[in-house]
Structure 1
Amino acid sequence: MEQSPPRNTSVTVADVARMAGVSKATAARVLGGYGTVSERVREAVTAAARALNYRPNELARSMTTGRSGTIGVVVGDIENPFFSLAVRGITDIARQAGFTVILTNSGENAETEKAAIRTLLAKRVDGLIVSPASESDIDHLREATRSGLPMVLLDRGSEALDVDTVIADDRHAAETVTRKLIALGHRRIAYITACDTPDHCFRMVQDINTGSVRRRIEGYLSVCAEAGLTGMEKWVRVGAVKSEQTHSIVAELFRSPERPTAIIASDSMIALEIFKVHRQLGLSIPGDVSLVSFHDADWTSVTTPTVTVVRQPVYDLGTTAAKLLVERLNGAAPAARKVVLKSEIVERASTREAYGDC
């Protein structure tokens, strides 16, 4: 009977082959998941690998198969519940397909994103899922696709990249919530986003490099213009990146002589800070200000009042992106696809009719 290797010796394919009574090449086919062997041989090799506690050498496997078995994912802010849920969708599909996810965080910074992409390419990932920090600074993504690496854009598209893209219907959702607020009599409607400009002031939609947010602001401004509300650009506030910046922006708005009667928060982290500041200043939601937030974060349904939200299909964005990438990794080669998933407006208790000087 073959003796098991000593405990301090790394178990190799050759060790597994000897125990199973097959050639090293046959054992490698079974352990690597390629080629054809009989079911009897497969069971013998699998049993031997289990008995020896065999762990594959991923570098050697990638050199043999041309695959690392990994997918690289780059998101804007992993602390944001939106991205956390999307990544959950990605990992669920990747795991089912036999892939491991390597997750990196860009912090919504294009230079950090470039460094992350370089690291993932060095690790020989089989494909990429990226939420670009900037839609205008994408040469690094273009170079990655030119090398033949499959890529899917998540939540943010780019007309300059011929790759699969999965987004939500952001503009339509923003149009819907803006119409609802205007129908309630609101005229001073602020929109707050983490996206920023060099001087921290918003002047035009072209200032916004993040496609999902740009589409929302386009929808908001379009509906305001339809309703005869002019100069609404002044109500768009940028730079709400961290809680400190958001607190300052919201406090300034609330203390202004022309306080907004309604606020649209571009994500749930901003909405949460709005909720904190209004209480600190002794204001009431929705008595003094109505609030609508993009993303149906868990906390929005348990506060007093509960918060009206745009419920985006976040998990489905992640699963759809992963499915498109896995299809390409498995040999599918259709033209680049753009998938737009529908959002839902969930009306709760944080909005009401505007009264007084609006």
Structure 2
Amino acid sequence: MTIIDIARLSGVSKSTVSRVLSGAGNVSQEARDKVMAAVQESGFRRNDLARSLRSGRTGMIGLLIPDIANPFWADVARGAQDAADAEDISLLIFNSDWDPERERRHLQALTQSRVDAAIVNPVRDGLDDFLRFQIPLVLIGSSAERFPQLPSVGSDISQGVSIGLDRIVAAGLGMPALLVGDAERTARERFVAAVRAVGEAEGWPLDEMRLEDGQYTVEGGRAAMERLLKAGPPRVVFAANDLMALGALQAIRAAGLRCPEEVALLGFDGIPAAEVSTPALTTVGKPSREIGRQAFKLLNRKVTGQAEAPRLSLPCTLIERETLPRIDHPRAVGTG
């Protein structure tokens, strides 16, 4: 089925069919109705490759995230894909595994695939390394803050940490021990800095704060928690992501300790698995799916030549479950 066939079925010229399918405005409503009726009847689909060669666009964008196995990043991808589908745009998803060399190869593959643009959670440090690929970019996540020259979307980490710590303080638990990720990650720096800012206001002895580094995984959280327990169980632990918190919960239970009665626990991310743990994990939820949606919207504006927005920092929410003690008369929890 071709445009010529649609013209014959609808009784209009080939050029009229072309104008209707391209969305041009100089077509009568009667002719438009005839063409669309013929399209629906015949099941005709436009030749997107030919259309892309004329417009210079392929109708495809790339998404490069660090860990598709982490439910947080999977949900970010879902948000981006939902937004892309609504615009009839295809999404190609790549996983960097936090590896700068793999990230470089994937960006090169996206360029060779002639994607119109890409959404990237950056692992690499150099802005020039991204710009040399010469495709429009929108960055996501805490790492994007290293590149203020580019539009980006992420969670408001300071606000999220603040509401989490307000909840810990309201329960009378005092200064938490921290489970954090790789010391080279921007997310770790932002998390620890936000905790210290609140701690100073609370008058905590920050030089005595217990902190364990680990991988942002269940296994990493379990190993870090085991190290904390060897030096004596902390009263409360704040983990920098939910996977680490779930691993910490495993270590707490394996040590024969009760949560939250003996060791309380707070996570950060809001992944679905946190809801079905035993006990269910109290956590600070990031707007993962909305991050993906907003990143696509920013990218689409950039591709179509609209004004770029600065970094969008989306608020987090406290998700009350079972790993922090209940509060009968809570103080107001701040919103940052």
Range into which the TM-score falls when normalised by the shorter chain: 0.7 to 0.9
Which of 95, 106, 112 is the equivalent residue of 2:96?
106
SS in 2 for 1:158: helix
Partner in structure 2 of residue 139 of structure 1: 128
Alignment of 1:81-230 (within 5 A): 81-134=71-124, 136-144=125-133, 147=134, 149-156=135-142, 157-178=144-165, 180-181=167-168, 184-187=172-175, 189-193=177-181, 196=182, 207-210=183-186, 212-225=187-200, 227-230=203-206
How far does the alpha carbon of each residue in 1:56-113 deviate from its partner, in whole angstroms, 9 at most, with x for none?
A: 3332221111121122111121222212222222222222233222222222222222
- Contact 1:20–1:44 (CA under 8 A) maintained in structure 2: yes
Partner in structure 1 of residue 331 of structure 2: none
- Contact 1:312–1:343 (CA under 8 A) maintained in structure 2: yes
Give distance in 1, aligned partners of 2:62 and 2:24: 23
Partner in structure 1 of residue 262 of structure 2: 288
Q: Which amino acid aligns with 1:340?
A: S
Using the TM superposition, give the Cα deviation of residue 292 of structure 1 relative to its aligned residue in structure 2, in angstroms. 0.5
Give distance in 1, aligned partners of 2:233 and 2:132: 47
Q: Which amino acid aligns with 1:332?
A: Q
TM score, norm. by length of structure 1: 0.78
Using the TM superposition, give the Cα deviation of residue 233 of structure 1 relative to its aligned residue in structure 2, in angstroms. 7.3
- Contact 1:170–1:213 (CA under 8 A) maintained in structure 2: no
Give distance in 2, aligned partners of 1:160 and 1:240: 23
SS in 2 for 1:327: helix
Kindly indicate whether residue 319 of structure 2 is the aligned counterpart of residue 331 of structure 1.
Answer: no
Give distance in 1, aligned partners of 2:128 and 2:5: 47
Distance 1:35 1:103, change over 3 A: farther
Kindly tell me the number of residue pairs found equivalent between the two proteins: 323
Give distance in 1, aligned partners of 2:215 and 2:52: 43
For structure 2, the 5+ residue unaligned runs are 327-336
Kindly indicate whether residue 61 of structure 2 is the aligned counterpart of residue 71 of structure 1.
Answer: yes
- Contact 2:282–2:324 (CA under 8 A) maintained in structure 1: yes
Partner in structure 1 of residue 290 of structure 2: 316
SS in 1 for 2:293: helix
SS in 2 for 1:119: helix
Give distance in 2, aligned partners of 1:166 and 1:268: 20
How far does the alpha carbon of each residue in 1:276-313 deviate from its partner, in whole angstroms, 9 at most, with x for none?
A: 33323322211332111112223333444332211222
Give distance in 2, aligned partners of 1:232 and 1:250: 17
- Contact 1:224–1:232 (CA under 8 A) maintained in structure 2: no
Using the TM superposition, give the Cα deviation of residue 50 of structure 1 relative to its aligned residue in structure 2, in angstroms. 4.1
Kindly indicate whether residue 272 of structure 2 is the aligned counterpart of residue 298 of structure 1.
Answer: yes
Give distance in 2, aligned partners of 1:302 and 1:37: 57
Which of 222, 235, 247 is the equivalent residue of 1:273?
247
- Contact 2:176–2:209 (CA under 8 A) maintained in structure 1: no
Partner in structure 2 of residue 340 of structure 1: 313
Q: Which amino acid aligns with 1:130?
A: V
- Contact 1:110–1:137 (CA under 8 A) maintained in structure 2: no
TM score, norm. by length of structure 2: 0.83
Give distance in 2, aligned partners of 1:104 and 1:57: 26
Give distance in 1, aligned partners of 2:16 and 2:110: 32
Using the TM superposition, give the Cα deviation of residue 180 of structure 1 relative to its aligned residue in structure 2, in angstroms. 4.5
Q: Percent identity?
A: 28
Distance 1:232 1:125, change over 3 A: farther
Which of 18, 23, 34 is the equivalent residue of 1:28?
18
Partner in structure 1 of residue 333 of structure 2: none
Which of 26, 38, 44 is the equivalent residue of 1:54?
44
Partner in structure 1 of residue 332 of structure 2: none
- Contact 2:179–2:221 (CA under 8 A) maintained in structure 1: no
Give distance in 1, aligned partners of 2:70 and 2:100: 18
For structure 1, the 5+ residue unaligned runs are 1-10, 197-206, 354-358
- Contact 2:246–2:277 (CA under 8 A) maintained in structure 1: no
How far does the alpha carbon of each residue in 1:236-279 deviate from its partner, in whole angstroms, 9 at most, with x for none?
A: 313244x444433333333x133333222222222222223332
Cα RMSD, aligned residues only: 2.9
